[in-house]
Structure 1
Amino acid sequence: MSLHGVEAFRAVSAVMAGRVAPDSVVIADVGLERLRRALADGTASPLDVAVLVRHVLLGEERRRGGGPKPRLPAPAGLAACAAIAGLQVEDGQLRALPWLPGWANQVVHDPALVAAAAERVRFGSEDVGPSADPCMERLGRTRYRSVGQRAAIRSALLTPPGATTAIDLPTGEGKSLVFQAIDEVGFASDSPLAAAEGVTLVVVPTVALAYDHENACRETDGEPLAYVGGSDEECRAEIRARVGKENRGLVFAAPEAACRSLRPALIDAARAGRLKAIVVDEAHLVDAWGTGFRTDFQSLSGLRRELLEAAPHDRGPRTILLSATLTPETLDTLRVLFSNPGEFRLLSAGQVRPEPEYWTASPSTADERTARVVEALCRLPRPAILYVTEVAEAKAWGKRLLDLGFRRLATFHGQTPDALRKRTLDRWRDGDLDLVVATSAFGLGIDYPHVRTVVHACVPETFDRFYQEVGRGGRDGCASVSMVIPSHRDFEVARRLNQETVISVERGLTRWKAMFEHPDATHLGGMMFRLRLDVAPGHSTEDIDLVGEQSLQWNARVLTLLARVGILRLVGAQNGVAETARPEDQEEDHATGVFETVEILETGHLLEDVWRRRVEPVRQSIWAGRQRNLGLMLEHLRSRRCPTSLLVDLYGRTSLEPICTACGLCRSDASVKKPSVLRREPAPCWSAPILRGALGAMTSGGGDVVLTYRNSDNGLAARRRWANAFTSFWRGGLRALVLVGDPPDIFERAMEGLRKVPVFVAASNGAVPPRLPTGPRVVLVAPGRTVLLSSNAPGSATRLLIVPDNMQDMERPGEFALERFSGLVLDLDSFLARLH
């Protein structure tokens, strides 16, 4: 039996006193269990253990809410490092000393206290979330994590063929369930037989995330789902065959692989009408990385267009863009790249996350900053991430902390070998690491829920990057701590990275001409051209050093800018052209050049006047957005505005619900604290599909169609016939069900059938719930309940009402509702007869 609370604390005390072996107890509390594992781990150093002891003592202090300070026995060898970890040894016992850092203004409590207690501050848990739709039981879910997750999954499953849905859902609310539902349940507008068939491509930014998703989703250990460079070629061939021929299941791939070696198999699947969806995980990276060192992110839009053109007109793959951080600028880029053909809609379920407690230090010298960070890392709860900006800084901090005495430690950056990355991530998920020093990519999309501390020994170049990294903490809905400790030099680094110049009209036009007029450029007919990206732009003083990879990045930015303006459209790798891979992508082995196929939309694309008239305003807008993003980061460091208001400014008031978190302002003045209210559930961004066949004809006149039942008809035959009727509903396209009261037993068998198709269910006290998709729906009214009937409403949403034959009139108590209803009323036999 797992111990928790006071029993767990006593068990750890017994372990530390040597009375109980560490492996003889099982503890449910995450912080206490981490300490127990460290005590059983021969690689944990005394400093590792001391920091975890402080974590546990602070958590227990918070849990008790007063009285004597909790203590734990002091094992031999711990006394030497107790002071550095903020512990005091007294009579063989350890107690936590309060940490009040000298750089913090108006310290009202130890910065580690709330996070160490892991107090739940958010609803994001399957235990307390809203009831799941019946079809989610196929994924083992009876509840959603949040109303936002429910709206996100419903919107994704309602996406029409060929359309795009962008989903903005906070970190930790389960975006991966979206593509799992697409794979297992299928789309609402597909026929029930085809709904769960086909291939779902999930584009991921990192190899680690591909493996993470594979482990979470595959049904058997031997089934490969991650199509990544460096893996066994036999596995890659098996995935290609499954995608192109068998047309089933999930496949996870980096954009480089999707746009190149996996592309022929994807086209085969699309041509057969069995490519269900293209899901882009961490879709904000299309903007952040696609115009920089990962140009294939922007090539995804061309691949999408190819796949849509290959597919039958009514079986085009849907595109689902998933992110927790969509700025207005990023959303504009995604809309340009992933709409037309097909409609583009946004489901925004974002809200400011309440888990982090924010602390910011004033700028200092490099030596002072080092001392402050070391002090913080010796006192803040675990697990913890220390973020830096540059690889050299990550290496230096890793060595510094190792020399200090930490052993449950790893370093993760762009130069970390793949094997070591995988081992680090495995140890992180298994709880064998307490501290990781990392650059920005660490933790991207990795669903490790229990991170308690995120420290920045840098100034992120955008507030967007900062918030994404803070979001690695508190994914379990419990309190975490965010601490930024900058040096003066960090501001220079942040400005340099932020001010990667949005290319000027003159230089942009020069680069465009270099690509368009290059000897390797190929005219494919009409206004379609295959252009080489890895070309030198010329020999101007600004560009003479920008060759190779740097030049490629700038040329990719030019294409994205022109696509955003509408001068061209990215089309993809036409005519089977082989594309290149760069070594760091590790996705393809044969390189012949970097190419992109484009469709020219503006005949004056080579004229400077056209560039000044069309490109310059957008260029200025992008520049202003980057400057605004850095400005918000600097405002946060000045601690003059609540982080919630800064985040609303960054992501937009209409797309982000401001929920209060903890910052220096509200710690010093409780009156400025914002209410901690949860966002009202957003409505799905797509309507339910139109009705098909006989059901569509029967309900085409507008107003309600009423089916009656007698509750006394409860035999097996009646149950079977109602189950057949419900099957007819779903075959005809009905996807929304409102339950007014508890369904009577006669419908038990029919309700069981809902697990087979994507049907969205809501309970109601009589009024139609607004958070179901608009469009046709079934309303099932229990005995003793009533609804208002609508006889004549041409053009209104179709309702198929199933009501007791003696349902009372809502407006005239004591009278039967059907006596005044002039619309179509059918009993079950008449209804089934009309369907055949």
Structure 2
Amino acid sequence: MELGFQDLANWLGSGFISPLDEKAFAEACQRRLVRALQLPHPLGQGDIAVLVRHLLRHEMEIQGGASPSLKVPRKTPFPTQREVWERSGIAVLNEGPDFFVVSAEPWHPEWLPQAEQVSPETPLFKEVRRRSHEPVSGDPFLKALGYETYQSVGQREAIRTILTAPPESTLVVNLPTGSGKSLCAHLPAWLASKPVGVTIVVVPTVALAIDQERAFKAQTKTNIATAYYSDTSIEGQERREEIRDRIRQGTQPIVFTSPEGLIESLSFSVYEAVRQGFLRYMVIDEAHIVEQWGDEFRPEFQELAGFRRSLLRVCRDNKLPGFPTLLLTATVTESCLDTLETLFGAPGPFEIVSSVQLRPEPSYWFAYCGSEAERQERLVEAVAHLPRPLIIYGSKVNDVDHWHRYLQQSGYERCAKMTGKSSQLERLDLLNRWQAGLIDIVVATSAFGLGVDLPDVRAVIHVCIPETIDRFYQEVGRGGRDGKATLSLVLHTAKDFQDAAAIGEITYITSDRGRQRWEEMFSHKRSLPDDRFQVPITVPPPYNIDLDGSSIRNQDWNIRTLTLMSRAGLIALDAEPLPHIEDKEDFKQAIEQYRGYRTVQISDEQHLKVDVWAEKVEPARNQRQQWAFNSLKLMKEALRPKRCLAEIFSEAYSIQTRLEPSRRGVPVERSCGGCPYCRQKEIAPFQGATPTPFRVWQQPSDRKGEALKAVLAGEDLLGIFYSLPLDRQSERDRKRLILWLLKEGIGNVVAPQAIYSLLNEALVFLFEAYQPFLMPKIPTLVYYDSETILPEDYQQFTKARVPHIVFLPESTPDPTGCIPVLQDSF
């Protein structure tokens, strides 16, 4: 039996003596309160007060009346003083020695602009649905993972584009949160693993690898390990060895790993898989991180480009088709897209499939604070009123430490922190507790978020100014993933502007010093085939020969120099396989030596000349810094907007079509859950339509079988006429013929639903009508029954320059009217 508010009220009123099953409650806020009271975890009086407030305000909003009252015990862990309740906007209606009777009212902070007229919390407690993606009719192969429909039109077009990607191509998949981006890696990998096949998925965090493994196991009903990460336990070492073995054998359908894990400990196994033709796809998830993190503290993300080039070269050396590369992201700026194209564009084609709709869930609120003391006061007030769970973001580790400590001192024990200094064990522990509902608040730097898919985060607070509009949008996007209303609150001070500018400044080396570092590295080069070289990153620059070359700082500057040169087109990042060494100690030494070198290919023979650096490198350096400046400028505008925030985000994420070299643009569909401008103009929250991407590949992978080629004999149109009514033998013949055509490479099927039962889990794309601009340019079957009228311009089938097999009843009239029956002139 499902329990509700009154059952919980009775339980609290009785002193919550008997145990309750939290899963029996209908509402998440009810389950969270019961869990907090029954589990032996730290629980502060502030935690209890705000969880009770959440319960009361939610009930008030869904009932549409005044706040209900609730009798609560006057004993620990409940607040025993009226003041604690009142700090959370809860009125004490009655009290006795062992109880309080309380109720809650909407929060209207006087210091928050526009909040006196509109309570910022009302949509959150009401759980207003802001996002609605209508499911889209599916293709037969979705059944392989238990699906009947696509989650969104963007997901459908992305998966179809991936499954028709030509060898060696690169595809950026740009889909908003909640539209099913993960399936774009899982489904193609699973389909391509029969009977053998390996897909590599590079993820930025261990948490994301583990989460992806969990999802993949649930979809495929398999139990093999797929997350590959550092683990020194005996069980962990065995797990890693088994994954490496399966990769070499081609029986590991998918592996989720970090760039460091791929380039180092998985390297030998992956090269072996490539030599045998087992590698199906290379995928980088959260691909925007390649630019954001690769330029600074994790250059391995950009080294993936060289590793990929090396693997593709092995494919060519072994006369094997190269694998497609997929770059998955929910947000891509023009700067990011340029970086991805520079690093992963060759040999091409490089394309993007995009269906960008801005997040409709967040409402945006901004408050300037005259001092740190004022910000602290306002933060505590907001935390005391807003629903759980919520996230608080700061820009610096010290700030996060301060806010976390202060909140715990203020009575919020169900509060944790995460920064770049958190260990892997600490991160995994926090994420497990966060997802289990044992934590209500996380205070964090931008290190927290990737791989954290908690759907019901109701508020995201920034006690800083993010250094880019992109970082702000992504962090706000941690809220409302269930499609319901969430709140973004920014509490900022004058000093935050200085901090944001300092953090956002790209630490590219100057052209003069970069050239000197490159000259020194190149003078110690090792020659390789194909005009490639290995250069040491442990050599000090000539202008500072006393610098310890092996220091991390020196190596980082050398790596940044190579990154800048790659952006400028002087070199291309490359890689060499690690030697395979069985002995662990010898392997450790080999890795250390390997880490001291980078492999590059010379793209411009004038790479050592001063004027070439001035002409090519300096503009690349300046352009990157200009992009960072423009992004911060948009962030500053958002704090005091004179237009809808959807317009500001649209400016950040819209990308114009480029004519030379050709690259399609990225349109952005606007949505807004409420912002200062819209509230002032009395514009209600709105959600834009989901854009439908058009066909991407001009020359998709060739799927035609030799037998079909022979039947077509060079023609693009084949008519198959059948008599009606169909007897049993004719039905069997039709079924055999259609199945044979599917086996021979038919990819699109335009047919009435009566034909669908013949397709089972076939790798074909279904269309109810002929839509040439949406359909991939692959062999197509078009089936007409007696009720479907053939268009007069049926010869359009030949315009696509791909085979079309058209089934028609024998009695089909000539649509041009020239002769009675089409079969006589076809």
Mapped partners of 1:161, 1:328: distance in 2: 25
Return the alpha-carbon distance in structure 2 between the equivalents of residues 347 and 784 of structure 1.
35
Find the counterpart in structure 1 of residue 226 from structure 2. 225
Q: Are 2:445 and 1:439 aligned?
A: yes
1:652 equivalenced with 2:654 (yes/no): yes
Question: Is it true that 1:681 corresponds to 2:686 in the alignment?
Answer: no
**C-alpha distance after superposition, 1:269-318 (max 9, x if no partner):** 11111101110011111111112111111111111111111124453121
Compute the displacement of 1:222 (Å). Answer: 5.9
Match of 1:15 among 11, 21, 34: 11
**Over residues 640-697 of structure 1, what are the superposed CA-to-partner deviations in whole Å (9 max), with x where a residue is unaligned?**
33221111111115422222331111112125x6853312311242355443323234
- Distance in 1 (CA, whole Å) between partners of 2:225 and 2:592 is 23
Alpha-carbon contact 1:349-1:682 (below 8 Å) kept: yes
Whether 2:124 is the aligned partner of 1:115: answer yes
Q: 1:157 to 1:12 in 2, by over 3 A?
A: farther
Whether 2:805 is the aligned partner of 1:800: answer yes
Which residue number in structure 1 is paired with residue 275 of structure 2?
271
Q: Tell me the amino acid that sits aligned with residue 663 of structure 1.
A: C
Q: Distance in 1 between matches of 2:394 and 2:589?
A: 27
Gaps of 5+ in 2: 95-99, 582-587, 656-664
Please give the per-residue CA displacement for 1:107-157, whole angstroms capped at 9, x wherever unaligned. Answer: 232212112222211124xxx411222211111112222111112222222
Secondary structure in 1 aligned to 2:646? helix
Deviation at 1:401, TM superposition (A): 1.3
Query: Following superposition of structure 1 onto structure 2, how do residues 20-169 of structure 1 map, counting pairs within 5 Å?
Result: 21-23=19-21, 26-43=24-41, 44-65=43-64, 67-76=65-74, 77-78=78-79, 80=81, 81-91=84-94, 92-107=100-115, 108-124=117-133, 128-169=134-175
The 8 Å contact of residues 154 and 684 in structure 1, kept in 2 or not, is answered as no
TM-score scaled by structure 2? 0.89
1:724 maps onto 2:736 in alignment: yes
Q: 1:14 to 1:546 in 2, by over 3 A?
A: farther
**Letter matched to residue 31 of structure 1:** C
Distance 1:559 1:818 in 2: 71
Distance apart, 1:596 and its partner CA: 1.1
390 and 822 in structure 1: CA distance in 2 versus 1, 3 angstrom threshold: farther
The answer to whether structure 1 residue 693 and structure 2 residue 742 are counterparts is no
Q: Does 1:567 align with 2:570?
A: yes
Distance change (3 Å), C-alpha of 1:513 and 1:38: same
Answer yes or no: is the 8 Å Cα contact 1:704–1:790 preserved in 2: no
In 1, Cα distance between equivalents of 2:471 and 2:563: 21
Alpha-carbon RMSD: 2.9
Give the Cα separation in 1 of the matches to 2:103 and 2:257. 49
2:292 is the counterpart of 1:288: yes
Query: Residue 108 of structure 2 aligns to which amino acid in structure 1?
Result: L
Aligned residue in 2 for 1:736: 748
Task: Please tell me whether residue 713 in structure 1 is matched to residue 714 in structure 2.
Answer: no
| Alignment correspondent of 2:311 | 307
The residue type paired with residue 556 of structure 1 is I
Partner-residue secondary structure (3-state), 2:150: coil
What is the DSSP-based 3-state SS (H/G/I as helix, E as strand, rest coil) of the residue aligned with 2:136? coil
Which amino acid letter does the alignment assign opposite residue 665 of structure 1?
A: Y
Residue 546 (structure 1) shift: 10
Counterpart amino acid of residue 274 in structure 2: A
Is residue 759 of structure 1 aligned with residue 786 of structure 2?
Answer: no
CA contact (8 A) 1:689 1:735 kept: no
Distance (whole Å) between structure 2 residues aligned to residue 631 and residue 340 of structure 1 = 33
Measured in 2, the distance between the counterparts of 1:408 and 1:490 equals 28
The amino acid of 1:110's aligned partner reads S
Could you say what secondary structure the match of 2:385 adopts? coil
Task: Identify the residue that residue 581 of structure 1 maps to in structure 2.
Answer: none
Question: d(CA) in 1 for partners of 2:559 and 2:247?
Answer: 29
Deviation at 1:32, TM superposition (A): 3.0
Secondary structure at 1:364's aligned position in 2?
coil
Residue type at the aligned position of 2:791: L
Distance in 2 of aligned mates of 1:572 and 1:241:
22
Give deviations 1:146-175, integer Å, cap 9, x for gaps: 111112222222211211111111123222
**Is the contact between residue 704 and residue 823 of structure 1 (CA under 8 Å) also seen in structure 2?**
no
* Deviation for aligned residue 1:710: 4.7
What is the rounded CA distance, in whole Å, between the counterparts of 1:763 and 1:706 in structure 2? 19
Amino acid at match of 2:645: P
Check conservation: 1:704, 1:789, Cα contact below 8 A: no
Q: How does 1:476-495 map to 2 (within 5 A)?
A: 476-495=482-501
Secondary structure of residue in 2 paired with 1:201: strand
How far apart, CA to CA, are the structure 2 residues paired with 1:639 and 1:393? 27
Instruction: After TM superposition, list the pairs within 5 Å mapping 1:344-383 onto structure 2.
Output: 344-383=350-389
* Shift, 1:707, TM fit: 2.6
Look up the equivalent residue of 2:789 and give its one-letter code: T
When residues 313 and 490 of structure 1 are mapped into structure 2, their CA distance, relative to the original with a 3 A threshold, is farther
Question: Are 2:254 and 1:245 equivalent residues in the alignment?
Answer: no
1:33-79 Cα shifts (integer Å, max 9, x gaps): 323322333433332222122223333333234x3333333333345
1:465 to 448, 464, 471: 471
Q: 1:46/1:319 Cα in 2 relative to 1: closer, same or farther (>3 Å)?
A: same
> How far is the alpha carbon of 1:332 from its aligned partner?
0.6
Q: Percent identity?
A: 34
How far apart are the structure 2 equivalents of 1:810 and 1:677? 40
Q: Which string of whole-angstrom CA distances, capped at 9 and with x for unpartnered residues, describes residues 255-276 of structure 1?
A: 0111112111101111111101
CA contact (8 A) 1:737 1:779 kept: yes
State the Cα distance separating 1:367 from its structure 2 match: 1.2
Question: Could you say if the C-alpha distance between residues 230 and 796 of structure 1 is closer, same or farther in structure 2, counting changes exceeding 3 Å?
Answer: closer
Letter in 2 for 1:442: F
Q: Which moved more, 1:689-698 or 1:384-393?
A: 689-698
Shift of 1:630: 0.8
The corresponding residue for 1:191 is none
Per-residue deviation, 1:250? 0.9
On the 8 A contact 1:384/1:453 being kept in 2, the answer is: yes
Q: Cα offset for 1:360?
A: 1.0
- CA apart distance, 1:210: 1.3
Q: Aligned-pair distance for 1:339?
A: 1.9
Contact persistence 1:787–1:810 (CA under 8 A): yes
> Matched residues in 2 for 1:603 and 1:263: separation?
30
Q: Distance in 2 between matches of 1:201 and 1:343?
A: 20
Counterpart amino acid of residue 339 in structure 1: G
Q: Secondary structure at the match of 1:74?
A: strand
Report deviation, 1:610. Answer: 0.5
Distance in 2 between residues matched to 1:228 and 1:12, nearest whole Å = 43
The alpha-carbon deviation at position 763 of structure 1 amounts to 2.3
Distance 1:808 1:74 in 2: 80
What's the offset of the Cα at 1:221?
A: 8.2
Q: Distance in 1 between matches of 2:223 and 2:23?
A: 34
| Matched AA of 1:727 | L
Q: 1:582 corresponds to which residue?
A: none
The one-letter code of the counterpart of 1:57 is L
Task: Give the counterpart letter for 2:141 in structure 1.
Answer: C
Q: Is the Cα–Cα contact under 8 Å of residues 307 and 317 in structure 1 kept in the other structure? A: no
Q: Which amino acid aligns with 2:304?
A: L
Does the 8 Å CA contact 2:363/2:672 hold for their aligned counterparts? no
Q: Distance in 2 between matches of 1:449 and 1:674?
A: 20
Label 1:598 to 1:459 Cα distance change in 2 as closer, same or farther (>3 A).
Answer: same
Task: Give 1:243 shift.
Answer: 0.6
Does the Cα contact within 8 Å between 1:208 and 1:425 map onto a contact in 2?
A: yes
Q: Hey, what's the Cα distance between the residues in 2 that align with 1:39 and 1:236?
A: 40
Tell me the residue number matched to 1:830: none
- Code of the residue aligned with 1:616 in structure 2: it is E
Secondary structure of the residue that 1:248 maps to in structure 2?
coil
Give the drift of 1:823: 6.1
- Alpha-carbon shift at residue 588 of structure 1 (Å): 11
Q: 1:546 to 1:389 in 2, by over 3 A?
A: farther
Matches of 2:288 and 2:237 in 1, distance apart? 30
**Distance 1:258-1:24 versus aligned 2 partners, 3 A rule:** closer
2:357 touches 2:688 (CA, 8 Å); kept in 1? no
Given the alignment, which residue of 670, 692, 699 partners 2:682?
Answer: 670
